[in-house]
């Protein structure tokens, strides 16, 4: 019987996620599995919370990784904070804003959307007009829109939301660890992310952070949280207190992985990490433009970690992507939705955001072209 794992080769991951994993994270994942209530493991959990609070720049007590990918983090926020009949506003300029609206609608919310052209940011002036029309229970927006490479102006949107009674929910799946995420400064009530982007850890965990206001909403719901697995009213008892209450079996080794990935980020220093991402981004853009490519997003709104490049006429974009993978072991991403077939999405996230990787990709792309 053939073991298919023998066919797996190391790939330079330069797509929209996952990113290349830091070597010490692989070592952490291989540590011996212990019990999820072992005192040694509880100590690791407590440090993970502290690390996440530092990275997210928050004092929120309820700051923990959810067992599941970034999408589980999104669902956790919505199922705990939204009840049937709640008025919810979702700001949309890409796939992941659309996904937020879908999830809120499935929970019986009255969902309004404010949409912007893909490849352009949310416009605060339009948001202000919308907020003057109606009071919402929750307002949701994506910080780093992975489908387009746009960085939305969360600071400006946050100032508008502060003038309302609404809960403020921010998707930081792609931004956390690549650009500043300032939960307390934003006065964000709920934030979620994922391990597989700028944290350079395999997919499988979703860091979340809830403000006191969000915790109060969760604990005083009219109805039970509709998803048992993601019910924070129970999960919190596993992550807090002297006596930890079993909820579900924690993914022990994945938590080793996020511990190590957060340790690496904080040891390097947040300013150094953000600078490294920016330098890799600028080098990539310079290389692409020297080859005649044009970027989708205007410079002032570009994400450093996710770069959308337009496909010129006459280039078979799928063929080039396959050639990069098969001949050079480099993965990049295709466009989604209305941008399918029109752009490549090139990630320089986490451990991938290094100059030697930019050079390797550029040389490979030249040979394919």
DSSP result, 46-96: HHHHHHHHHHHT---SEEEEEES-HHHHHHHHHHHH--TT-EEEEEESSHH
Question: Could you give the CA distance from residue 227 to residue 242 in angstroms, rounded to a whole number?
Answer: 26
Sign of the Cα pseudo-torsion (297, 298, 304, 307, in order)? positive
Residues 303, 175: contact at Cβ < 8 Å? yes
- The yes-or-no verdict on residue 83 having pLDDT over 90 is yes
pLDDT tier at 241, thresholds 50, 70, 90:
confident
What is the per-residue pLDDT across 20-61, written as a single tens digit (0 to 9) for each? 999 999 999 999 999 999 999 999 999 999 999 999 999 999
Q: Residue 300 burial (CB < 10 Å; 0-12/13-18/19+)?
A: exposed
* Rg (alpha carbons) of the chain, rounded to whole number: 21
* Helix segments in 91-247, DSSP class H: 95-106, 124-133, 154-161, 183-186, 212-219, 232-239
pLDDT band at 242 (very low <50, low <70, confident <90, very high): confident
Q: Is the peptide bond before 18 cis (omega within 30 degrees of 0)?
A: yes
Q: Which of 55, 359, 49 is nearest to 197 (CA)?
A: 55
CB 275 within 8 A of CB 312: no
Q: How much is the pTM?
A: 0.97
Helix axes 355-368, 270-290, angle to 10 degrees: 20
What's the average model confidence in pLDDT over 274-279? 98
Interval 211-216 mean pLDDT: 98
The pLDDT of residue 364 is: 98
Nearest Cα residue to 25 out of 251, 265, 193: 265
Greatest pairwise CA separation for the chain in angstroms: 65
Q: What is the pLDDT of residues 308-346, one digit of tens each?
A: 999 999 999 999 999 999 999 999 999 999 999 999 999
pLDDT band at 137 (very low <50, low <70, confident <90, very high): very high
Q: Cα separation of 265 and 251, whole Å?
A: 21
8 A C-beta contact, residue 348 and residue 287: no
pLDDT tens, position by position, 86-135: 999 999 999 999 999 999 999 999 999 999 999 999 999 999 999 999 99
Cα-based distances in Å from 242 to 43, 62, 246, 250: 11, 15, 13, 18
> Mean pLDDT for the chain?
97
Closest CA to 97 of 114, 78, 82: 114
CA distances from 177 to 144, 321, 369 (A): 12, 27, 33
Gap between the terminal Cα atoms of the chain: 40
Residues 6+ apart with CB under 8 A from 153: 121, 122, 124
Q: How confident is the model at residue 248 (pLDDT cuts 50, 70, 90)?
A: very high
Give the pLDDT confidence score for residue 95 in this predicted structure: 97
Residue 237 is predicted with a pLDDT of 96
pLDDT of 247 > 90? The answer is yes
User: What angle in degrees, to the nearest 10, is found between the helix axes of 70-81 and 95-106?
Assistant: 40
User: Which of helix, strand or coil describes residue 169?
Assistant: strand
Tokens matching residue 79: 């199922």
Domains of the chain listed by start with CATH number: 4-18+269-368 (3.90.1150.10), 23-266 (3.40.640.10)
What percent of the chain has pLDDT above 70? 100
Copy the structure tokens of residue 61: 């007590």
């Amino acid at each position: 019987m053939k073991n298919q794992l023998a066919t797996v080769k190391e790939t330079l991951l330069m797509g929209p996620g996952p990113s290349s994993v830091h070597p010490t994270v692989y070592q952490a994942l291989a540590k011996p599995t212990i019990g999820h209530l072992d005192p040694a493991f509880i100590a690791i959990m407590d440090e993970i919370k502290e690390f996440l609070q530092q990275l997210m720049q928050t004092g929120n007590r309820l700051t923990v990784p959810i067992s599941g990918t970034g999408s589980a983090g999104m669902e956790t926020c919505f199922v705990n904070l939204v009840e049937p009949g709640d008025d919810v506003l979702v700001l949309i300029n890409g796939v992941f804003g659309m996904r937020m609206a879908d999830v809120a609608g499935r929970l019986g919310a009255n969902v309004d959307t404010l949409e912007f052209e893909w490849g352009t940011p949310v416009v605060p002036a339009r948001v202000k007009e919308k907020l003057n029309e109606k009071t919402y229970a929750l307002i949701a927006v994506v910080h780093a829109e992975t489908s387009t490479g746009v960085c939305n102006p969360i600071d400006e949107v946050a100032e508008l939301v502060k003038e309302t009674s609404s809960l403020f929910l921010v998707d930081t799946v792609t931004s956390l660890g690549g650009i500043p995420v300032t939960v307390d400064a934003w006065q964000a009530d709920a934030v979620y992310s994922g391990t597989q982007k700028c944290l350079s850890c395999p997919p499988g965990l979703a860091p979340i952070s809830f403000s006191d206001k969000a915790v109060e909403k969760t604990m005083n719901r009219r109805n039970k949280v509709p998803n048992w697995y993601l019910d924070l009213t129970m999960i919190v008892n596993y992550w807090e207190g002297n006596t930890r209450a079993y909820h579900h079996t924690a993914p022990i080794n994945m938590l080793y992985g996020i511990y190590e990935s957060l340790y690496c980020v904080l040891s390097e220093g947040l300013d150094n990490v953000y600078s490294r991402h920016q330098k890799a981004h600028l080098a990539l853009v310079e290389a692409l433009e020297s080859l005649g490519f044009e970027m989708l997003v205007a410079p002032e709104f570009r994400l450093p970690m996710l770069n959308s490049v337009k496909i010129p006429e006459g280039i078979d974009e799928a063929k080039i992507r396959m050639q990069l993978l098969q001949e050079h072991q480099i993965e990049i991403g295709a466009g989604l939705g209305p941008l399918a077939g029109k752009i490549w999405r090139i990630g320089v996230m986490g451990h991938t955001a290094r100059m030697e990787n930019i050079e390797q990709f550029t040389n490979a792309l030249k040979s394919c072209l």
